[in-house]
Structure 1
Amino acid sequence: MTITRRDFLNGTALTIAAGLAPSALLEAAAQGTSQRAAAASAPVAATGSASPYPPALTGLRGNHAGTFTLAHSLAREGATYPTVLAQESYDLVVVGGGLSGLAAAWFYRRKFGAKARILILDNHDDFGGHAKRNEFTVRGRKLVTYGGSADMPASAAGNAAVRTLLAGVGLDATRAPALPQTPFAALGMGRAVYFDAEHFGRDGLVAGDPFADLIDARATGGGTRPTPDVLQRFVDAAPLAAQERAALLKLAAGEVDYLAGMAPGDRANYLARTRYATFLRERAGIGLGGLRFLRSRSNDAYALDADGISVGEAIAIGLPAGAGMPAPVLDPRLGKSPASRLWFADGNASLARLLVRDLVPGVVSGAAAAGRPEDIGRAAFSYGGLDRDGNAVRIRLESTAIAVEPDVRITRVTYGWRGNLHRVEAQHVVLAGYNMMIPFILPTLPAAQKDALRAEVKAPLLYTKVALDNWRAFAALKAWRMHAPAMAYTDLWLEPPVAGSPSALATPDDPAVLHMLYVPTVPDSGMSVRERFRAGRALLLGTPYDELERGVRAQLDRMLGAGGFVSRDVIRAITVNRWAHGYSYMPSPLMPDDAALQTALAQAGKGIGNVRIANSDSAGSPSLTAAVEQGWRAVDGLVAVG
C-alpha cells in the first residue's frame, strides 16, 4: 500500500493536492485540529462528554488529524507559501515541543539566564512529543497511562545531560519513583501465548511463555531461566509440528554452536550482516511454524521483526542463537529494552510535565505546583496558560513550522497556526522535530547535511490503550501478559489496575488499562529497514480509525473469549496512539551505507548560522537519553549574539 496525495484521518480523507492554494491548506490544517476532539471521541467515549483537555481525548491520537497537513504539503507536494511580516521576537525559538525541545529550552535558560524569552512551537495539540499522556475515567476512577515514550533507559544514570536535567526537576537518575503494586502474582496470573489458526492451524492460548523468560534472563542477567521440563511442557502444548518443537528446544538449550568451524572474523561479520530469520532458517533448522513463533519477539525493542534485524541485534536483546555466541550486551541506543524501567504511570510524560512546570509559571495548580516531582502525575494542568502574554517562556501548540531563514544576526521562523501564517524573529533557533522534515523547512542547509537528515526514516507503530470496566477474563485465563506472535497486536498486557479504595489492592472487578502493541512489519520480504518503515507508515496513515477499532475489538474477543470477555460489555474507551513517525532510525548493520551515517548526523546537527538541531533522530537512537543529550548539545553550540 502506498499513499501519495491522501491521508485518511478518522475515516475521512483529507486530500492535499499540489494545486491547492496555500490558504486552503492552512484552513484544512486548522479544521483538522479544531475537529479533533469530536472526531476522536465519537467511536467510543469515556464517561462524560468530550473534553478540550488533550490527555483525556480518546480515539485516534499521536499523529492526530491536522498535525501533518502542512508538513506533507511541503514534503510531498512542494507547496510554497507567501512571506509574512514578523510580529514577535524572541531570544530562542524551539521547533518541536517533545522531550528534546523542552530540554533544549530548559538548558538554554541555565546558559543564558532565566529572563531569556523563548517560544516553543509544536504541531500537536499537546506538549511532550512522543512522551504522550493518556487518561480515562471509568466508574468515576481516573486511569492514567502512557501513549508513547515510556521507559527510562538503563543508560540514563550514566549520562551527564540526563543527570543534570533530572536533578534540576527534583529527580534522582539512579532511583526510580515507586509504582503501584500489581495483584497479578497473588492471583496466580502469569504470561501466555496465543496461537492463531491462520498461521498455526488452530486457535489456542497456551499458558506460560518460557521463551520470554529466557530472553529476559539472558538480556538482564537476572530473572529465572526456564528449566528444560518447563520448555518441554510449553512446546508440547503449542500447535507446532514435532520437528518444529525439537528445533526450538535445541535452540533454547543453547548447547549447539550453529556456526561451528567458522573463523572469528567471518563469525563476527556473519552476526552483523545476516538477518536473524535467515539464521533461524538456514543454521538452526527452524521451519515456518517456528519462525512465525519467534519472528515478532523484537518488535518492541526495534520496531522490526526477525527478518529486519541482524543476528547480533537479536542476541543483544536476549534472543537465543546457540553456543559460541557473544553474551547479550544491551545497546544503549535502544529506547525500550529488558533493562529499561517505567518510572511513572504515564511514562516520560511526567518528565515533560516537570519541564513545563519549570518553564511556564502558573501552568500547574494545586499542591503539585511546588510539590514533590512524584506528584506531577496528579497535577492539574492549565493548557490555556501555556501561551500567555508576559511569560518569558511560551508554548504554542497546533503550530507547524514551514520555513526557517537564518540571517547574520537573526533567524526568521514562519509557521502555520489557526488557519494563518505567522512569522517570528529570534537570535537562536533549535530544530527539535523530525529530522526528515528539516531539509524542507531549512533548505539553505548544505546538501550533505540534508541527505543525512533525510536518511532518518522513523519506525511506525501503534500504542493502543483500552480502558476496561473489569479484567475478569484475564484472571479467569490466569494471564496478565500475552504474546500473539502472528496477529496484528503481537503483545498486550494489563497495567497496574486502580483499586476501589486507596487502601485496597485491586481485584478483577476493578477498572484497568490494557496496553496493546502493533508494529506494521513486512515479514519475510527481504526489504531494507527504510523500505519497511515507509511501507508501515503508509499502512498506518491509510487505515481509518473505525477499522483500527474493529480490529482491536475482534482480536480481544477472539483471544479472551474463553475467559468470558465480550468487548461491547467490557471496553469503556479506546485510544489509538498512532506514531507513523515513531522510533528514531538506528543505523543498521544490515545496511553497509549506514556505517558513516552517525558521523554525517553529528555534522548535520551543527545546523547553520544560529540554528542548531536537537532530537533523538540525530543520535540514531529512540531513547530518552538521546533526546535530552541532543537538546543539551544544541544549546551548548549556541553563542550569544552581540
Structure 2
Amino acid sequence: MSFSPRALGMDVPITRRDFFDGIAVSCVAGGATGRTALKPPDPPDAFTVRGDTSEALSVAHALRDGRFWAHAGPPVPTGESHDLVVVGGGRGGRSAAAEWLRRHPRASVLLLDNHEALSDREPLAGREAPGDRETSGDREAIGSREALAGPAAFDAVMCDAESFGADTLVETSSPGWIDRLPIAWQARRDLRALHEDPPDWFPGLPAEGKQERLAELTYAQFLREVCGAHPDAERFCRTMPSPGWGYDTRAFGAIDAWGTGYPGFAGLGLGREEPSRYNSPTVRRHWHGPAPVAAVPPLDRRVRVRTSSPVVSVRDGAGSATVGYFDGHQVRTVEAGAVILACWSAVVPYLVPELPEERRRALRQATRVPLLEATVRLRDPGAWRRLGVRRVRWTGAYWCASEFTPPDTVRMLATPCRSELGPGTGSAAGRRELLRTPYSTLEHTVRDQLARLLGPAGFDPGGGIAAITVHRWGHALAPEYCRPWHAFYPDGPFPADAARGRFGRIAIAGSDAEPAARGEAAVAAALRAVAELAP
C-alpha cells in the first residue's frame, strides 16, 4: 500500500526542529563567526531530532578533518582547576564521576559533553535505549533484554513490501504461523525444518570442531551455504539480530546465533551447559539468563556539568593536565589533576596527539555501530490495541522494529549499518549514509510504516500522531570482538589491550576499551580508569 505525503500528515503544520544535515553549523567547522542558536523547547505537536545532530558532531568532525584549529583561535584559560575532568556523560562518564567522589568525597569534578542536554527517562523494558541518555557516552540498543535471546522477543513479523512485494503481518506466537508467511513454499518448508527438525549439518565432527566451523560463518552464510535454505527463508530471517546488535544476519556470527537460540542448530548435538569459547563476550555473559543491567548512577549534585561543550584537546603537563573545550564561541581551558576520557575511543587520538602511535592505531580501530530510535506519541492508541500484538519485527523496511509502550507510545528502531560489509566497515558506511539522510526522510518513513502497520486497524497517520522524536546516534553501540570478523578472538592479543591504560594523568574509559556493546562494559571501564589514576 502506498500513501501520499498528504495522507501521511507530512503537510500538517507542526514544528519541525531541524539542523542542516551533513553541514557543520558552528563557527569552527564553517569558518563563520558566531554559533547557530538553539531553538526553544518544542510544543507538543512536533518532529524533533536529538542525539548526534550535526551541531553535536560538527566540532569532532572538524577535528578529524583537520579544519578545527584553523578557525578556533587561541585557547582562553578559565582559571578553573578541578581534581577530575570527565569527558563524556553517558554510563561510563557518570560512573567514573561517582566512583571518584566515592573515593574522594571533597573532590572537585567537572563533566563535559558535546550534546546539548543530559536527560533521564525510564529504561525501555529493563535496558537503556539510545535516547534514554542524551550524551556522547555509551548506549544500548532499543528492545527488551529478551531481544538478546533471539526471535522470541517479537510476537509478530511484518513481511514487508521491501522484502516480499507486499505487506503481510504474521503473528509468530500462534500455531502454524510459518504456513501463513507470504514466501515461496520451498522457503516455508525450509523454515519448518530449521525450527522443528534440523539435521546434524556437520556429521562426524566433534563438538569443538562444529563450534570452530560455526565460528567461521555468519548466520546468513550458515543458512545459505550449510543449510541450503531458500533465499526467501534467509531473507525472512535477516533482521532477527538487528534490534539487539545493530546489524543483521549478514554480519551476525553463526556461533552467536547458535548461542542465542536461532533456528537451525538443534541437530548439531551441542550441549547447552556452557557457552563456546568462540561466543562473543555479551553472549557468554547472558548464557545462564538475562544478566543484570549495570545501574547508571544518578548525577551527583557535586559534579559540575557543561553540555554543548565538546572537548578538543587534552594535554598532560608537569603539574596538571590541561583540558580544552569549545563553548560555541571559543576554546576554553581548565586545569585538572586527572582526566578520564569516557568518550568514543576513535576520537581520543585527536584529543591527545602525544599518545604513542601503537595506542593511536588501536584506538582508531574502535568503530561504533549507528542506531536510530524514534519515539512516537499517538493521539489515539486504540489502533495498536486492536492490532493485538506488542512487538513487531520488519523484514526489510527502514525501521526494523516497532514496539508499543502503554499508554500511547510507539518506539521504533532503525539500524543503518551496511551489514553486508561486516560490522566495522558496514557501520562506517552506514553512518556516512545516515548523516546524509534528510530529517524529512526519517519523518516520512516513520509515518509510512505506522500507516502500513496500523492502517488496517483504523489508524490515521495524518491526524493520529501527536509528536515524533528521533534520537540519531551515529556512534551508538561500542564494537564487540566476535567471530567470524575478528580472527584474534578469543585468544588475543586484542586491540583494546593496546588502547587502554594510563597515560600520565589521563585514563581511557568507555565501553570501547573493554570492548563490549552493553552498558555494563562502560561501567567496568570507568571503574578501571579510576583505579588506574588512584594515588
The partner residue of 2:355 within 424, 445, 449 is 445
The amino acid of 2:98's aligned partner reads: W
Distance in 2, Cα, partners of 1:304 & 1:21: 35
Match of 2:178 in 1: 235
Does structure 2 conserve the Cα–Cα contact (< 8 Å) formed by 1:398 and 1:417? yes
2:468 pairs with 1:519? no
Shift in Å at residue 146 of structure 1? 3.7
Does structure 2 conserve the Cα–Cα contact (< 8 Å) formed by 1:464 and 1:574? yes
More moved, 596-605 vs 241-250 = 596-605
Residues 15-57 of structure 1 show CA distances to partners (whole Å, capped at 9, x for unaligned) of 359xx984855856x41xx33557xx4xxx525xx8xxxxxxx
The partner residue of 2:447 within 553, 573, 579 is 553
Structure 1 segments of 4+ aligned residues over 6 angstroms from their partners: 131-135, 150-154, 334-338
Shift in Å at residue 470 of structure 1? 2.1
Match of 1:208 in 2: 172
Distance in 2, Cα, partners of 1:195 & 1:273: 29
Shift in Å at residue 603 of structure 1? 3.8
The partner residue of 1:62 within 51, 59, 78 is 51
2:381 pairs with 1:494? no
Match runs of 1:41-440 below 5 Å: 41=42, 45-46=43-44, 59-80=48-69, 81-86=72-77, 87-111=79-103, 113-127=104-118, 146=132, 149=140, 191-209=155-173, 230=175, 233-322=176-265, 323-324=267-268, 326=270, 329=275, 333=282, 339-340=289-290, 352=296, 354-356=297-299, 359-360=300-301, 392-440=302-350
Does structure 2 conserve the Cα–Cα contact (< 8 Å) formed by 1:334 and 1:622? no
Match of 2:394 in 1: 484
CA distance 1:409–1:603, change in 2 (3 Å): farther
Does structure 2 conserve the Cα–Cα contact (< 8 Å) formed by 1:153 and 1:337? no
Distance in 1, Cα, partners of 2:381 & 2:320: 57
The partner residue of 1:581 within 451, 461, 475 is 475
The amino acid of 2:38's aligned partner reads: Q
Does structure 2 conserve the Cα–Cα contact (< 8 Å) formed by 1:430 and 1:634? yes
The amino acid of 1:100's aligned partner reads: G
Q: TM-score normalised to the size of structure 1?
A: 0.70
Distance in 2, Cα, partners of 1:479 & 1:203: 16
Match of 2:9 in 1: none
Distance in 2, Cα, partners of 1:580 & 1:486: 20
Does structure 2 conserve the Cα–Cα contact (< 8 Å) formed by 1:151 and 1:341? no
Shift in Å at residue 78 of structure 1? 4.7
Match of 2:511 in 1: 616
CA distance 1:279–1:617, change in 2 (3 Å): same
Residues 243-284 of structure 1 show CA distances to partners (whole Å, capped at 9, x for unaligned) of 111110010014411222335454222111111111101222
CA distance 1:93–1:305, change in 2 (3 Å): same
Does structure 2 conserve the Cα–Cα contact (< 8 Å) formed by 1:458 and 1:582? yes
Structure 1 unaligned residues grouped into runs of 5+: 1-8, 51-57, 136-144, 155-189, 211-229, 361-391, 498-511
Does structure 2 conserve the Cα–Cα contact (< 8 Å) formed by 1:299 and 1:305? yes
Shift in Å at residue 482 of structure 1? 1.3
Q: How many residues align?
A: 489
Distance in 2, Cα, partners of 1:93 & 1:263: 53
Residues 552-596 of structure 1 show CA distances to partners (whole Å, capped at 9, x for unaligned) of 001111121111111122110001111110100001222245537
Does structure 2 conserve the Cα–Cα contact (< 8 Å) formed by 1:452 and 1:597? no
Structure 2 unaligned residues grouped into runs of 5+: 1-16, 125-130, 134-138, 147-153
Distance in 2, Cα, partners of 1:320 & 1:21: 53
The partner residue of 1:605 within 461, 485, 500 is 500
Distance in 2, Cα, partners of 1:326 & 1:26: 62
Shift in Å at residue 607 of structure 1? 3.4
Shift in Å at residue 615 of structure 1? 0.7
The partner residue of 1:35 within 38, 41, 63 is 38
CA distance 1:613–1:598, change in 2 (3 Å): farther
2:381 pairs with 1:471? yes
Distance in 2, Cα, partners of 1:270 & 1:37: 56
The amino acid of 1:68's aligned partner reads: L
